[in-house]
Amino acid sequence: MMTSDWKLRAKVFIQRFWQPTSACMTCMPGSWGNLMSAAHWTLALQTGLVTAILALLLTFTPAARLFRNRWGNALVVGLLTMFGDAFSHADHYGTRWVEPVLTGLVSGLLALAGSYVFEDRARRLRAAWARVRGKRVS
């Protein structure tokens, strides 16, 4: 197996862990009020872990090429997060699929935003920071 495949898998696992965890923390009712709650973090981390494992398993299939395209990546991340959230805990909104769908949508949007912000070694982020500091962007 090539080293680049394992680098992609490590990157996929890490990204698919933090994006669903962040989305889950955002979408759970009372998220901002329960930010320091251990139970709240446990559910969010479970969602992130389940999603990351599903994404890692997907890298062993031909569908792995979707992770290289920003729109395909956002779609896969959103769907995997939806299933990870549904598997990890019961819906807090009363209907079975409302919270997982909302969490998947937010996670997909985070993945899409991250692809624009962090591409090319965070070129856009570095340029914005240089403008804030008043330096010339090269």
pLDDT at position 31: 60
27 near 99, Cβ under 8 Å?
yes
pLDDT at position 75: 93
pLDDT at position 71: 92
pLDDT at position 1: 46
Amino acid found at 25: M
Assigned token pair, 27: 């979408």
Instruction: Provide the residue ranges of all domains of the chain, joining segments of one domain with +.
Output: 3-110
From CA 9, how far away is CA 59, in angstroms rounded? Answer: 7
pLDDT at position 79: 92
pTM over 0.75: no
From CA 42, how far away is CA 25, in angstroms rounded? Answer: 10
Give the 3-state secondary structure of residue 103: helix
Secondary structure tally for the chain: helices H, strands E: 4, 0
Half-sphere exposure of 32 (CA within 13 A, CB side): 0
From CA 67, how far away is CA 70, in angstroms rounded? Answer: 7
Q: Which residues of the chain have pLDDT under 70?
A: 1-3, 30-34, 92, 136-138
pLDDT at position 92: 65
Beta strands in 1-138 (DSSP E): none
